[in-house]
Structure 1
Amino acid sequence: MKVSDILQLKGNTLFTVTPDTPLMQAVQAMAEHDIGSLVVMEYGDLVGMLTFREIIETMAANNGTLGTHSIRKVMDDAPLTCTPETDVNEVRRMMLERHTRYLPVLDNRTLMGVISFYDVAKSVVEEQSFENKMLKAYIRDWPEEKEERAS
């Protein structure tokens, strides 16, 4: 299974912001859309990711407040990325090694979407469920062996 398969199942809704967006506005957008990340774009290019991790770190550093920061000051400006052709097993390894929950998908420099650890887990479970159903159907339809008669 490839990342493109996950994107097809997930759909193509993307939420983006610019680096100069106020952090509070980004948090409100994340809450409103029930999402855990925002892609930070500038002049048509991916320049960072904002996730709840950066927000929590900012709040911890500011005694529980967001302050008046823009996204530029707190975003991950070197996010891990993948391509639509990346194998899902490779994505799982990458996400686990870098402790990353959200991965922008780039085709050359074009943003194709974002996949989450949840999206990856869900697709793997669905793929395994399909394989299990196919195996059970195959076993159920197994031809019976004819008994040999003793002469």
Structure 2
Amino acid sequence: MLVQEILKLKGNVLYTTHSGASLSEAVAALTEHDAGSLVVMDAGEMTGLITFREVLQAVGKTKGDLSAMTVSDFKVAQPVVARPDMPIEAVRELLVNHHQRYVPVMDGKVLMGVVSFMDVAKAVLEEQGFENRMLKNFIKNWPAEDAND
């Protein structure tokens, strides 16, 4: 399975913010959309990613006072990205090796979407389930040996 197939299953929903937004606004957007990440877009280009991890780091650093903090203060400026043609196994390895839960999917400079570790896990389970059903069907329909031979 490829990343572009996961994006098709997820749909076109993409949540964004900008570097100048207050961190409180970003928290409100994450909460409103029940999302784990926001892509930071400035002048039509991705300039970073902010996730609940960065928000928690900000809460810890500011002792909960996010009033003066902006997205640019805590965003991941250069997140690792995936390509739409990447196999799901490569994305899983990318997420694990870079300790990221979310990865923007870029086709050149065009943002296609965001894939989460949960999306990857779900895709792997669905793919394994399909393979298991196919193998069980194959075994079930295996030609029986003729007992008279």
TM range (shorter): over 0.9
The equivalent of 1:132 in structure 2 is: 132
Structure 1 counterpart of 2:40 = 40
Corresponding position: 1:17 with 2:20: no
What one-letter code is carried by the residue in structure 1 that aligns with 2:2?
K
Identify unmatched segments of 5+ residues in structure 2.
Answer: none
Aligned to 2:86: 86
Q: CA deviation at 1:8?
A: 1.1
Report the equivalent of 1:143: 143
Give the % identical residues: 44
TM-score, with length taken from structure 2: 0.96
Q: Structure 1 residue 139: deviation in Å? A: 0.8
Instruction: State the SS of the aligned residue for 1:53.
Output: helix
CA-atom RMSD, angstroms? 1.0
Q: Distance in 1 between matches of 2:90 and 2:2?
A: 9
CA distance in 1, matches of 2:65, 2:146: 76
1:10-30 deviation line (CA, Å, top 9, x unaligned)? 111000111111110110110
8 Å Cα contact 1:55/1:66 also seen in 2 = no
Measure, in 2, the Cα distance between the counterparts of 1:73 and 1:64.
15
Residue 110 (1) aligns with residue 110 (2): yes
More displaced stretch, 81-90 vs 122-131: 81-90
Secondary structure of the corresponding residue to residue 105 of structure 2: strand
Contact 2:22 2:67 in 1 (8 A): no
State the SS of the aligned residue for 2:31.
helix
Report what 2:97 is aligned to.
Answer: 97
Specify the alignment match of 2:52 in structure 1. 52
CA deviation after TM superposition for structure 1 residue 9, in Å: 1.2
Match of 1:8 in 2: 8
Map Cα deviations across residues 79-105 of structure 1 (whole Å, 9 max, x no partner): 110110111111111111110000000
CA apart distance, 1:65:
2.6
Q: Which has the larger radius of gyration?
A: 1
Give the Cα separation in 2 of the matches to 1:118 and 1:48: 20
Q: Which residue pairs with 1:72 in the alignment?
A: 72
Consecutive unaligned residues in structure 1, runs of 5 or more: none
Q: State yes or no: 1:120 paired with 2:117.
A: no
